[in-house]
Amino acid sequence: MITFYPGPSKVYPQVADYAQEAIRSGVVSLNHRSAGFMDIVKETLRLLHEKLAIPADYHIAFVSSATECWEIVAQSLTVTTSLHPYGGAFGKKWMEYAHRIKPMILPGEADVLCVVQNETSNGTQVRMDTLAQFRREFSGLIAVDAVSSLGGLVFDWSLADVWFASVQKCLGLPAGLAVLIYSPDALKQAEIIADRQYYNSLLFLHENITKYQTQFTPNGLGIYLLMRVLQQVGPISEIDALLRSRAADWYEFIEKETAWELLIGNPEQRSDTVIAVQGSEEAIRAVKTAAQNAGITLGNGYGDWKSNTFRIANFPAIEEWEMDTLKRFLRGYLC
């Protein structure tokens, strides 16, 4: 089955071999305070900085999911409350989650701006020039949920203080691990707030990761697989160029060679990693069923767009022949 589901999505084919390698070599049984495990963490951090071009002074920690990162931002980095401009279901969910922890009273009191860079629910994105405008206009910390784009697109890391993503999308890995990237200013804010009452308080994460350890027994296999995938892939500039080219291809193909309609009309707002296609509920149900019968899994719609869209993941692990197969299917399918 070829999958274009936008998360969890296709994993790199080599991951199966890497997992067997981890079992055979005993990596999965390593004590997370041992020298062997700390070497894996150290190398994974080095590769993240190198392959994703993360600035040397930005710190990286490992947690379980992007949702956990929402919690860390609210607990460890928000003094009063956070501001959430959003354009989709996940941005709304983040706002609701954060405001349960630090309720919104007056928007002017917000000291953290929270932005979903790539909104998986509807195939939109916030581009770097918009983030740059936020940076100029907002004096507090900026946190970015980059779940559907980290590992796929080039970022200007200086435009935010916190970036995070789960690994099951552009990083081409199974779910169960997330990468949390934070600036020196974010660390200073955490030190001022001095939150130490939770197992995932940022200060605990930071104190442990500086020793190449974690504050809890981690997803050791996930970290090892991330290391091996990072060894395999090229620099982010190359991946970015590939995905943007593919995205332009997808949008042109859908508009010119199919009867389908794109959900997002403004090209400037369209995601480069998740393509959302709309139609009637009946047509969407029918095409998903037909695709499944042809050995292809299309992504379901999500949130307000659940019944009238399907989504196509444009992630690095998806191969050209798989995209060609889907294009042939859509070209021949009468919606």
Sequence spans of domains, the chain: 2-8+235-332, 13-232
- Look at residue 91 in the predicted model and tell me its pLDDT: 98
pTM above 0.95, yes or no: yes
CATH classification code of 2-8+235-332: 3.90.1150.10
Cα–Cα distance for residue pair 239/170, rounded to 1 Å:
10
Comparing C-alpha atoms, which of 276, 335, 267 is closest to residue 119? Answer: 276
Comparing C-alpha atoms, which of 9, 28, 17 is closest to residue 224? Answer: 28
Pick the CATH number of 13-232 from 3.40.640.10, 1.10.287.1080, 3.30.9.10, 3.40.50.300: 3.40.640.10
Q: Hey, is 125 helix, strand or coil?
A: strand
pLDDT in tens, the chain (335 residues): 999 999 999 999 999 999 999 999 999 999 999 999 999 999 999 999 999 999 999 999 999 999 999 999 999 999 999 999 999 999 999 999 999 999 998 778 899 999 999 999 999 999 999 999 999 999 999 999 999 999 999 999 999 999 999 999 999 999 999 999 999 999 999 999 999 999 999 999 999 999 999 999 999 999 999 999 999 999 999 999 999 999 999 999 999 999 999 999 999 999 999 999 999 999 999 999 999 999 999 999 999 999 999 999 999 999 999 999 999 999 988 76
The answer to whether 2-8+235-332 and 13-232 have equal CATH topology is no
Cα–Cα distance for residue pair 299/313, rounded to 1 Å:
7
